């Protein structure tokens, strides 16, 4: 469990770097690879549950989408460049405060 969680946390922290290079993207890829190597433990110990009970697979859209980050970062920039915070702030100012 610790190996999978560490790999996932490494992935999350590396993805949030304000600057990315080929070296950091390689580290991101390695962290994701390590997570995928070790993620089966969540199924084996029954900790992967949903509203219908124990899930016997890791076909989760958010987990599946992680592999796209290696191509999105070079194409779109660092992850802070495509967050929703700006849009949410604009929504508060333009819509909510108007009423």
Reply yes or no on whether the pLDDT at 12 is more than 70: yes
Domain ranges of the chain: 2-96
13-35 pLDDT, tens per residue? 999 888 999 999 999 999 999 99
50-91 pLDDT, tens per residue? 676 666 667 677 777 888 888 888 888 777 655 666 666 666
Residue 26 confidence (pLDDT): 95
Residue 32 confidence (pLDDT): 94
Rg of the chain (C-alpha set): 17
Contact of 28 with 11, CB cutoff 8 Å? yes
Region for 59 from its dihedrals, namely left if φ exceeds 0, alpha if ψ lies in -120 to 50, beta otherwise: beta
Q: What is the pTM of this model?
A: 0.68
Residue 24 gets which letter from DSSP?
A: H
CA nearest to 78, candidates 17, 3, 6: 17
């Amino acid at each position: 469990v610790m190996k999978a969680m560490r790999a996932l946390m490494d992935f999350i922290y590396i993805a949030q770097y304000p600057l990315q290079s080929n070296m950091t993207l390689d580290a991101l890829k390695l962290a994701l690879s390590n997570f995928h190597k070790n993620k089966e433990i969540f199924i084996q110990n029954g900790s992967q549950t949903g509203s219908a009970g124990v899930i016997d697979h890791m076909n989760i859209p958010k987990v599946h989408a992680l592999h796209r980050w290696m191509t999105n970062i070079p194409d779109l920039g660092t992850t802070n460049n495509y967050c929703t915070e700006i849009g949410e702030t604009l929504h508060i100012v333009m819509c909510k405060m108007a009423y």
